[in-house]
Structure 1
Amino acid sequence: MDVEITKQNGKTFKLSDYDIIVRDFIVGSIEILPTYSEIEGRHGRVNIGATYGTRAISVPFYFKANDLLDYPLLRDLLFELTVDTESFYVRELRRDIFQVGDNKYVGGKRYLVRLASSFDIEQTYKYGFGEMSFETTELPFAESVGTTQDIQENGINADDELWGFGMGLIEEMGDVEYVPTRWYHVGSKKWSEI
C-alpha cells in the first residue's frame, strides 16, 4: 500500500519515496448533518433535511530508520511532508496479495484533505509507528483525477489510472466531446460566449 500526496503547488510524491510504509488507507463514511425543528404542541420533531459534513481518512504507517540518530531526521521529514495549513490531495495505491511489482492506483479518484489533528509517532528502537488522520476540507466526496478534456484528447483507457469503475463513463469515441462554450473575464467579472 501507498499514499500519493499532491500539494497545491503541484509537487507530487508518494510516502514510499521516503521509506514510509503505509499499512492501510481507511476511508470513513461521510458525516450526516441532520436539521430538525420543533413545533409547539406537536410530539417529536420535524425533519427539515440533512447535508453532508466531512469525511475522515486514516493512514496507519511505520518506518525504519538506518540507526537511532537517523530516526529523528525521518520523523521530522514526515512532519514536513504532511503537516500543512493548505489542503492537499491524497490518492490511494494498493497491491493485490499475489501481485508482484509496484502498487497500483485504486480507481481514478483523489480526496482534498488536511490533517484533522496532530499525530504522534511511537518509537521502538529504529522503528516508528503512527497513524495520520485526515479530513476532507471542502466537499466530502472524492474527485476524478481525469477531466473531460483528458477524454477529448486521449479517450478513456482503463489502464491509464485516471478513471475508476462506477464513474458512469462511456468508452466509445465520439460519445463525449469537450467543447468550451463560455469563458470568464477576470477584470470585468463577466462571462462571454465563445
Structure 2
Amino acid sequence: MDALIEKLDGSRYLLSQYDVQVTQFEDEPIEGARNSTQLDARNGSIDFGGWHKSKTVDVSGYIHAENMLAADYDTERIKALFATPEGFYITRRMPMSQPGFERPGEHVGGAYDRDEDVPDHKRFLVYCNSLDLEFFGSNGEKQVYKLTAELKTLALPYGESIPEDITVKGRVPYAGTVPCSQLEQQFVVVFTASAAADKLSLTIGATTLEFTGKVAAGDVFRFTGFSYTQNSLNVVNATNKAYFTLIPSDENKVSASVAGTIRVLHHQDLFA
C-alpha cells in the first residue's frame, strides 16, 4: 500500500519516496453537527436540521532508518511535505491483488513490495492536524519507527473523484454516495442553445431552472447556483435562482425546453 500526495500546484509525491511503508489508510466516518433547541415545559427538543462538518483521514506506516538521525531527517522531509497551508490531496494506492502465502526464503523482498499499486477511486483535500514518529524496534541493523498522521478535510468533508468536464444527454451520471450540490461543490452547468425561444426551462433531477428572457440560437448560458449569465452577461433577475443537486441512486434526468447542448464543468462524484 502507498499514498499519493498532490499539491495544488500540480506536484505529486508518493510516501514510499520518503522511505515510508504505508500500512494503514483509513477515512473515518463524517463528523456531523445539528442545530436543535429545547423549550421550557416541552419534552425533547426541536430539530432544525444537521450538516456534515469534516472527515478525518488516518495514515500510518513504518520508516526503516539507519539510526535516529536518519529517522529525524526522514521525519523533517515528511513534515515539510505535509506543512502546506492551502492543503493537499491525498489518495490511497492499493495493491492490485492480495499476496498469497509463501514459505520463508521462497522469494526475495516483501510480498507487498512486489505488487503494483493502483489509485483508489476517491481522494481527499486535507491538511495535517498531527504528525507523530515513535520508535518501534529494530530490524537487523536498522531501526524501525512508526509514523502516524492525522489529516482533516479542508473544504468538503467527503472523498472526491477527479473533476472532469462532460457533455450530458438524457441524464447526468453520478456514482457518488452523498448529494452533490452546486452551492457546495460548485459544478457549472453550461447550456448552448441551438434554436430561438421566448424563454428557457432547464431541469436536472427534481430541480427546474427558469429563464424568462429571450433566447437566440448560439446563446451560451452558465448556471453555477449563485451566478447566472447569458453570453457572459448577468441575468440573475430573469431566473428563479434555482440551483442543481445531483442525488445518489437517482437517474438525475436532464431536459430543456429549447434545443441545445448541455455540459457540466468540474463534475465530480462525492463519497461519504
In the superposition, the TM-score normalised over structure 1's length comes to 0.73
Give the drift of 1:15. Answer: 0.5
Give the corresponding residue for 1:145: 162
Aligned length: 166
Give the corresponding residue for 1:101: 115
CA distance in 1, matches of 2:134, 2:69: 16
Give the drift of 1:113. Answer: 0.5
Q: Classify 1:46/1:81 alpha carbon distance in 2 versus 1 (closer, same or farther; 3 Å).
A: same
Identity of aligned residues (%): 22
Q: Which amino acid aligns with 1:120?
A: D
Q: Classify 1:66/1:182 alpha carbon distance in 2 versus 1 (closer, same or farther; 3 Å).
A: farther
Q: Which among 112, 115, 118 is matched to residue 125 of structure 2?
A: 112
Q: Which amino acid aligns with 1:148?
A: D
Larger Rg: 2
Runs of 4+ in 1 over 6 A off after TM superposition: none
Cα distance per residue 1:30-55 (max 9 Å; x no partner): 11101111223211111111111100
Q: Which amino acid aligns with 2:157?
A: P
Q: Does 1:132 align with 2:146?
A: no
Q: Which amino acid aligns with 2:115?
A: G
Give the drift of 1:131. Answer: 0.8
Q: Which amino acid aligns with 1:114?
A: Y
Give the drift of 1:86. Answer: 1.8
Q: Does 1:59 align with 2:59?
A: yes
Q: Classify 1:61/1:167 alpha carbon distance in 2 versus 1 (closer, same or farther; 3 Å).
A: same
Q: Classify 1:6/1:182 alpha carbon distance in 2 versus 1 (closer, same or farther; 3 Å).
A: farther
CA distance in 1, matches of 2:33, 2:55: 12
In the superposition, the TM-score normalised over structure 2's length comes to 0.54
CA contact (8 A) 2:23 2:60 kept: yes
Q: Which runs of 5+ in 1 are unaligned?
A: 153-164, 169-177
Q: Which amino acid aligns with 1:129?
A: K
Give the drift of 1:66. Answer: 3.5
